[in-house]
Structure 1
Amino acid sequence: MKKILFLSDALKMNGRSVDFAAYICKLSKSSLTGVFLQHEAHSQRAAAAIRDEIACNGITVNEERPLHELEQECRQYNARRFGTICENLGVRSEVIEIAERQAENILLECRYADLLLIDPSLAMGESAVVLPASFLHTVLSQSECPVMMIPERFDNVEEIIFAYDGSPSSVFAIKQFASLFPGLADRTVFVVTARGDKRISANEMQKMRNWLNTHYPSVTFYDIQGDSRIGLLEYVLGKDNIIMVMGAYGRSGWSAFFSASHADPLVKYISKALFISHL
């Protein structure tokens, strides 16, 4: 893995998120490309709200200065801050900005990247950029590289949780994560399985155990009874400093958790690192 993207708001970059992105880059000796979203030209966001966001960056805001000048200054400030954080942490970096057709252009960048990291403010709806309701779902379900949601709080990766339902996509996500992050091979691994409507055969379970045991020294399986979505939520809520790995966003299996009727609860309400990949 050599090229990692960091998706954030050009006016509201979170320094802690950049710290996490740099940590991931150092694990894989990768460079980091900051992909900063601008306000689209037709955005209806109130000028006063945008000025408030700019002021939160420590930039002097007054009514006499045109809004476009303030936005440009804020974008430049965050781009410099991003570069400084990366440089201080020993990570090579660059910045690109996307102003229009944002989902389309982000997906194009993903096609030629190894991993996309998403600032939690975009998932939580706290970004200064006005995004369509379907934006996050589109990026997660159509990205041609794996995606990781950055946690709100992070100290270190102590545990890895694999969501395994026997589907090809869940196995692919687990194998891809192990391949991309060999530096995490010494972490404790928990494999969360659900045996609701679709049972995993004993033969497949044993093959999964055997494969994991060749890559990780400590692997524990945990079987969820009943509603797999509720069980998965309850299981991860009590844990900190974890990365959760899941396959097939918006398609099948575990991805049913992310249906529109559930408002993407795992993405929006769990402040954990979440790695999503699909075939």
Structure 2
Amino acid sequence: MTQRILVVLDPDSDTPVATDTAIDIARLTGGEVTGLAFVDKDSIGNDAAGGGIGSMYFAERLREQLTEETREKAKDLIAAFTARVEAQGVAHSGDRVGEGELVKSLLDEMRTHDLLVAGRESHFYYAEPERRTHTLGKVLQDAAAATLIVGTERPTVRRVAVAYDGSGPSARAMQKFAHLAPFGTDLDVEVVHVRGGSEADVLASDRLRQDAAAYLRAHGFERVTTTAIESSDPANRICELAQGDRADLVVSGAFAKKGFRKMLFGSSATKLLEQATVPLFLYH
């Protein structure tokens, strides 16, 4: 079960949704939440860098100003988070402002948490979409904990689609979801396999889906169905699945057989993160 939930905080509108989602999970599982806001000094230093010796003094002053402004904003975020959690009567611990290199700090925190909950529009104090996707990609690649990405609405999860292709990442994502059961086990779960059209593909798909369904049932998910989708573009079909109305949550491995590194750092990642209309449970 999910016992320790980390919420990454920033000024975007979906941070309250991430907080409320974490509260809902903690209340269901008896867990606790931790709020973490960042002062990313490396990014601030880059933004304030001067162009020459004559500008170094002003660059340093700007860096100090930006750091202090960001630190105060982070403290406000932590205060709002603490008030929101305590008002709901949910346990919390370790709420703090982290200072240092963003990705390393976040990965360090995730080593002692079961689940990271973050908003899809999380900017971590910067607004460049490519930089945001790159940061999230590195977190998904190396994190010990799973990541739940939410949107602008507090999710009610009753139907879950598990994207499963038999690969290590998809199997670990399914296992992590089954072990954590962040939304309980009283769910309608659909195991979805995107396959080719050959007879061998059909037979392999049947076996994969049967094995995955058996695993989920063994972990208390009683209402499990399976679906095979014929396509030569699995990544695109998973994106379509995350945009449709057949699931309230999509569970997926963070890397695919053909290299979800492209999906994390390229256009497919941006498409999945920006076009998904349901929350994403991702693990490597």
**TM-score, normalisation: structure 2:** 0.78
RMSD of aligned C-alpha atoms?
A: 2.9
1:224 counterpart (229, 246, 249): 229
Deviations 1:136-155 (A, max 9, x none): 11001110111111232224
Q: Establish whether residue 42 from structure 1 lines up as the match of residue 45 from structure 2.
A: yes
Secondary structure in 2 aligned to 1:19?
A: helix
Q: Which has the higher helix share?
A: 2
Bigger mean CA deviation after superposition, 22-31 or 189-198 = 189-198
Q: How many residues align?
A: 254
In the alignment, what sits opposite 2:210?
Answer: 206
Q: Distance in 2 between matches of 1:25 and 1:163?
A: 25
Residues 272 and 254 from structure 1, CA distance in 2 versus in 1: closer, same or farther, beyond 3 angstroms? farther
Contact 1:6 1:117 in 2 (8 A): yes
- Determine if the alignment matches structure 1 residue 185 to structure 2 residue 182: no
Closer, same or farther: CA 81–241 of 1 in aligned 2, 3 Å = farther
- Tell me the residue number matched to 1:103: 103
Q: Percent identity?
A: 23
The answer to whether the 8 Å contact 1:8/1:34 transfers is: yes
Query: Structure 2 CA distance, aligned partners of 1:74 and 1:256?
Result: 33
Q: Which residue of 2 aligns with 1:22?
A: 23
Corresponding residue for residue 136 of structure 2: 136
Q: Which amino acid aligns with 1:75?
A: A
Contact 1:2 1:114 (C-alpha < 8 Å) held by counterparts: yes
* CA drift at 1:108: 1.2
- Secondary structure of the corresponding residue to residue 90 of structure 1: coil
Match for 1:238 among 226, 244, 250? 244
Query: SS at 2:100's partner residue?
Result: coil
Is 2:171 the partner of 1:171? yes
**2:278 aligned partner:** 272
Distance in 2, matches of 1:17 and 1:176, equals: 20
Structure 2: 5+ residue stretches without partners? 49-64
Superposed structure 1 runs of 4+ greater than 6 Å apart:
none
Compute the displacement of 1:85 (Å). Answer: 0.6
Structure 1: gaps (5+ residues): 46-65
Q: Taking structure 1 as the reference length, what is the TM-score of the superposition? A: 0.79
Q: Tell me by how many angstroms 1:33 deviates.
A: 1.1
Show the counterpart of 1:258: 263
Q: Secondary structure at the match of 1:209?
A: helix
